Structure 1
Amino acid sequence: MSQFDVTVIGSGPGGYVAAIRCAQLGFKTAIIEKYPTMGGTCLNVGCIPSKALLDSSEHFENAKHNFANHGIIINDPVADINRMVARKNEVVDQTTKGIQFLMDKNKITVFEGVGSFESATQIKVTKNDGSTETIDSKYTIIATGSKPSTLPFITLDKERIITSTEALNLKEIPKHLIVIGGGVIGLELGSVYKRLGSEVTVVEFMDKIIPTMDGALSKELNKVLRKQGMKFNLSTGVQSVERNGDTVKVTAKDKKGEEVVFEGDYVLVAVGRKPYTDGLAVEKAGVDLDERGRVKTNEHLQTNVSNIYAIGDVVAGAMLAHKASEEGTLVAELIAGQKPHINYNLIPGVVYTWPEVAAVGKTEEQLKAEGVAIKVGNFPMRALGRSRASGDVDGFIKVIADEKTDEILGVHMIGARAADLIAEAVVAMEYRASAEDISRMSHAHPTYAEAMKEAALDATGKRAIHF
């Protein structure tokens, strides 16, 4: 029987990072992945492929609507969805092969198959050909991730009534895509097909899109996406989804309790994700799950069985790839006897629409509910020379600071390259910077990042220079 110091079950951004860090720390490490490619949901059917399609569709959108403004005159472009999907697959293939290279480089033993507990220290690997192999491991890290959720009354046929996984591999551009759910996944994939020519209707149960983010971001993104042609039906609860041939009908009730019906050729169910533990047999190891099927852990991501840890989407908290990666590193270092930490308040969230949306820290609504005295600074992207030069004038940056200490408590932004700009806010808040600290830092001109300086200046009570 093969013996390892640490075995990681699942090779997503949490699992493969945990395995690499364990190997770096000198542990004999194994990783178990049931699919033939490494990288989990994120690299195969999530973060990476969706961004590839977002980029391709954005290029098409610019060619069709924006190039002429820059003096670039071309014939009417045509979207080739099959080539876009093929390119997406090429990006995925390159990325997953990169993870396999890292496994080899770090001398991590890879098992292809389903990992299931036989006991707290023994794991059975059931391979695709039906054969099995049992390994012994001193420590185990569960990193099995999540899968798309649905509603109890919706039958996913994965042809016309689909999840994000199928939406990444469509062979045609929908005429009318109905998106159930106004969160990150629904808006990103809705944006892809809206740019390619689909009519896109979003049906959201809550009274705003991206409901967990700052209200100002929700309001601005709603306005921008409506301007782009996306339709929203908020405070609308779906009652049923029925398919008849190539037509799908969604029946819902609006906020007045009146029935509304939407008809399209595809329905994307994007109501969130749920933890995935199928086949793991945690009961044989004595590991507890909570009422939502997540692996229960303490503040060190340790389960009730002391040598077994769990990270990423399979545990409580935001389902974010970078959060899983940080947890993978943390657990590896804890096993090595180090004292790492994660400040979960400073894990940024991003929506890759265009303009992008990003945030870190607490929202204005949260801080007011907690009774914290705050001051808020805002700066519109359209006031930047860089934004006018590129034509990306939608959005703003909002800096929230403590009224007494001036410490930055939250940064919320929507605009070009917000996904990259948010890193400045994360660094500032990790070092407990004040709004004045940021306002006195030199920012290169002309850049989108200047909006961060100006918003921080506004939060100090002084007037922003350029607005």
Structure 2
Amino acid sequence: MKTIKNIIIGFGKGGKTLAKFLAQRGEQVLMVEKSNQMYGGACINIACLPSKRLIIEAAHNTSFEDAIDGKNVMTAQLRKKNYEMLASEDNITVVDGVAHFTSNHTIEVQTTSGSTLDYKGERIFINTGAKPQIPDITGLKNNPFVITSTEAMNQSKLPRELVIIGGGYIGLEFANMFTNFGSHVTILDRHEKILPNEDDDIAEMIIQNLTDNGIKFEVGANIKQISRQDEQAVITLTNNNQHETTLFADKILIATGRQPETASLDLQNADIKVDNHGAIIVDDHLHTSVPNVWAIGDVKGGSQFTYISLDDFRIIKDELAGNGTRHVSDRSIVPTSVFIEPPLAQVGLTEKEAQKQGQDYLLFKMSAAAIPKAKVLKDTRGMLKVLVDPATNLILGATLYVQEAQEIINMIALAMRAKIPYQVLRDQIYTHPTISEAFNDLFKEPVKK
């Protein structure tokens, strides 16, 4: 058994950045990755970048086949770059295989070449990410018509009839994308409302725009079973009125969330604790229940974003080579974006959340149609909403449903973190025409609630 200073299981954003950092400090690092198709992690191979590439290609009327080819070229280049970034370091060894814990600080790696390797790590960092969560529906498992978000981006042929199970953010992104490519898309969701956590005015606007784009919604859907008829899947479902409906699909996309990838780790052989969802339990410095074992990124549960994984690296870096003052609990202000059309971006409180908490607020609200740049972009759909604390003039939260929202939400988040009063954004000199200059008008006067 070989002893290594640092073992990192999983080539994702936080893990690969940590590996590079430790190696350049002169420390030995073993990077274990289960597949050579996942160098660099989920973001560059099956999630953020390839999906956003396809969303943009669909909006630009690129054919599905050409878009897939272009996406594959991009991910191959990124994968190669990420592998070389680590493999070129003298202090890093990359091993392809599945890691299993055999004790608190030892692992066994079943390599892709068929050999078994045993290692002991002075430090171990678990960065295995998450996997699609598959609902328990009769006829779903091992069904040739069923795909996850990963397979959805690797289809050689555009499905003409696509049914998406799950009306959350992932489901909506894929629905919008496949509709733009030319698929007929139906979303099935067991809830009575799509986007139930969003403010009603925002949710209604999003649903109306997606419906106008051709997407069909079946809410309160109870899927009884999935079967096969000729070369199509048959979905039998009922709604809350027990009315039975039959749908036919070329493909069924499962978009019901993701769960931490811990099953293959054999954590029962160590004292590493997990919660009821399989997520590794960590403290405010990302320590697991075993000393000198950390968890990074999606595997620990919570928000599943590559920028959270990167910030996990910063917390660990600060502990190992800084003053140890960074904490998970520092991340109270985290912006998010959903790449539908127009994009939806948020940070902080929604109006619904503020009302639930009894938080007093000023409401600033503006239609996207009033923004000159929206007219230039030929998309005046959407709305901007910002909540401000009347006692301090500090921003409590923002929901931006407008073109380029994914960019300007970062300005709001920065203002919140730096405790900058909203008037500074109101009086800022912006370039023209831009979406950001909407803040000049948005913050003129609060609306009556």
Q: TM-score range by the shorter chain?
A: over 0.9
- Greater shift, 244-253 or 167-176, is seen at 244-253
Aligned residue number for residue 327 of structure 2? 341
Alpha-carbon distance, 1:268 to partner: 0.9
The structure-2 alpha-carbon separation of the partners of 1:340 and 1:246, relative to structure 1 and needing over 3 Å to count, comes to same
Aligned residue number for residue 402 of structure 2? 415
Distance 2:295 2:348 in 1: 24
Aligned residue number for residue 54 of structure 1? 55
Distance 2:99 2:198 in 1: 36
Alpha-carbon distance, 1:440 to partner: 2.0
Aligned amino acid, residue 433 of structure 1: I
Distance 1:403 1:167 in 2: 46
Q: Contact 1:22–1:333 at 8 Å: present in 2 too?
A: no
Equivalence map 1:136-147=2 (5 Å): 136-147=120-131
2:285 to 297, 300, 307: 300
Q: Contact 1:208–1:219 at 8 Å: present in 2 too?
A: no
The structure-2 alpha-carbon separation of the partners of 1:425 and 1:26, relative to structure 1 and needing over 3 Å to count, comes to farther
Aligned residue number for residue 98 of structure 1? 81
1:376 to 352, 356, 363: 363
TM-score normalised by the chain length of structure 2: 0.92
Distance 1:363 1:168 in 2: 32
Aligned residue number for residue 236 of structure 2? 251
Unaligned runs of 5+ in 1: 61-78, 463-467
Unaligned runs of 5+ in 2: none
Q: Contact 1:346–1:430 at 8 Å: present in 2 too?
A: yes
1:110 aligns with 2:94: yes
1:319 aligns with 2:320: no
Distance 2:153 2:293 in 1: 34
Alpha-carbon distance, 1:49 to partner: 1.5
1:151 to 132, 135, 151: 135
Aligned residue number for residue 5 of structure 1? 5
1:20 aligns with 2:5: no
- Greater shift, 435-444 or 291-300, is seen at 435-444
Aligned amino acid, residue 22 of structure 1: L
Alpha-carbon distance, 1:317 to partner: 0.7
Alpha-carbon distance, 1:15 to partner: 2.0
Q: Contact 1:183–1:211 at 8 Å: present in 2 too?
A: no
Aligned-residue sequence identity (percent) comes to 29
- Greater shift, 142-151 or 34-43, is seen at 34-43
Distance 1:261 1:28 in 2: 58
Q: Contact 2:366–2:442 at 8 Å: present in 1 too?
A: yes
* SS of alignment partner, residue 86 of structure 2: helix
Aligned residue number for residue 365 of structure 1? 352
Q: Contact 2:58–2:64 at 8 Å: present in 1 too?
A: no
Equivalence map 1:210-229=2 (5 Å): 210-229=195-214
The structure-2 alpha-carbon separation of the partners of 1:197 and 1:255, relative to structure 1 and needing over 3 Å to count, comes to same
The structure-2 alpha-carbon separation of the partners of 1:387 and 1:292, relative to structure 1 and needing over 3 Å to count, comes to same
2:443 to 448, 452, 456: 456
The structure-2 alpha-carbon separation of the partners of 1:376 and 1:300, relative to structure 1 and needing over 3 Å to count, comes to same
Number of residue-to-residue matches in the alignment: 443
1:404 aligns with 2:391: yes
* SS of alignment partner, residue 279 of structure 1: helix
Considering only aligned residues, what root-mean-square deviation do their CA atoms show, in Å? 2.1
- Greater shift, 314-323 or 117-126, is seen at 117-126
Alpha-carbon distance, 1:26 to partner: 5.1
Q: Contact 2:285–2:326 at 8 Å: present in 1 too?
A: no
- Greater shift, 270-279 or 337-346, is seen at 337-346
* SS of alignment partner, residue 92 of structure 1: helix
Aligned amino acid, residue 190 of structure 1: A
Distance 1:450 1:368 in 2: 28
Alpha-carbon distance, 1:438 to partner: 1.6
* SS of alignment partner, residue 438 of structure 1: helix
* SS of alignment partner, residue 18 of structure 1: helix
Distance 1:209 1:453 in 2: 32
Aligned amino acid, residue 394 of structure 1: R
Alpha-carbon distance, 1:13 to partner: 2.1
- After superposition, what is the alpha-carbon deviation per residue over 1:39-60, rounded to whole angstroms, capped at 9, x for unaligned? 2222212112211211111110
Runs of 4+ more than 6 Å apart: none
- Greater shift, 278-287 or 196-205, is seen at 278-287
* SS of alignment partner, residue 242 of structure 1: strand
Aligned residue number for residue 164 of structure 1? 149
- Greater shift, 220-229 or 20-29, is seen at 20-29
Distance 2:443 2:9 in 1: 43
* SS of alignment partner, residue 452 of structure 1: helix
* SS of alignment partner, residue 90 of structure 1: helix
The structure-2 alpha-carbon separation of the partners of 1:428 and 1:393, relative to structure 1 and needing over 3 Å to count, comes to same
- After superposition, what is the alpha-carbon deviation per residue over 1:276-335, rounded to whole angstroms, capped at 9, x for unaligned? 113212222211111111111112211110211112111121122221221122123223
* SS of alignment partner, residue 318 of structure 2: helix
Alpha-carbon distance, 1:108 to partner: 2.9
Q: Contact 1:379–1:396 at 8 Å: present in 2 too?
A: yes
Alpha-carbon distance, 1:217 to partner: 3.0
* SS of alignment partner, residue 36 of structure 1: coil
1:355 aligns with 2:342: yes
Distance 2:415 2:224 in 1: 45
Q: Contact 2:149–2:255 at 8 Å: present in 1 too?
A: yes
Distance 2:438 2:247 in 1: 40
* SS of alignment partner, residue 219 of structure 1: helix
Q: Contact 1:52–1:91 at 8 Å: present in 2 too?
A: no
Q: Contact 2:159–2:250 at 8 Å: present in 1 too?
A: yes
* SS of alignment partner, residue 323 of structure 1: helix
Alpha-carbon distance, 1:354 to partner: 1.8
Distance 2:24 2:368 in 1: 43
Aligned residue number for residue 127 of structure 1? 111
* SS of alignment partner, residue 263 of structure 2: coil
